[in-house]
Homo-oligomer: A and B are copies of this chain.
């Protein structure tokens, strides 16, 4: 009995991983249960057996991705230096984006198509996170720690820029005549993006 349950868990994990891969490549609708089954090395009926439906599996994949999205920014307070926090936030996001591009793409496609499956997450968890962070930025501005900027636009700008490298990877690689990102790319892009945004908010980048 113990062994069986272990197998079940392992199998489920393998299926979610395969599903994440395929959904991240083709999107929800264009991914068939069979594609996932082939990648997981299982007959397609097993997929449905473990996750009753394609949509249920997709929801599992989504929540698996969202649970992975915790940031440095989460723990920042008004006493912290906005330059250090924002720099870290940008670099961490960029790293996530370039390290797990398929997760980012699944999320992007979900939002692009109306975010029907994650409406609740957006309107509860993320909204709470977002209003805390905008208030923190307002606090920094009020305390004279940074220039007056619209906090929402600033956060969207950081999200947009960092996710762009995952979501538009195919375009970027063509334009730069590359096959994949290198380690130097991550550094160069991080430096540029962080420099522009920090300086744009009247902040000085930490020298570390």
A residues contacting B by CB (< 8 A) are: 25-30, 105, 108-109, 111-115, 119, 122-123, 126-127, 130, 149-150, 152-154, 156-157, 159-161, 163-165, 167-168, 170-172, 174-176, 188-189, 191-193, 195-202
Contacts and interface: CB of A to CB of B under 8 A. Distances in A.
Given A150-B188, A196-B197, 13 more contacts: A27-B27, A30-B30, A108-B112, A108-B167, A119-B174, A122-B175, A123-B174, A153-B192, A156-B168, A160-B164, A196-B200, A196-B201, A198-B200
Nearest to A201: B196
A192 B159 contact: no
Contacts of A172: 156
Contacts of A195: 149, 200
- Which DSSP category, helix, strand, loop or mixed, fits chain A's interface? helix
B27 A171 contact: no
Contacts of A160: 160-161, 163-164, 168
Contacts of A193: 153, 157
Contact of A174 (B109, B115, B150, B174): B115
Nearest to A153: B192
A112 B196 contact: no
B170 A159 contact: no
B156 A161 contact: yes
Given A27-B29, A192-B150, A171 B202 contact: no
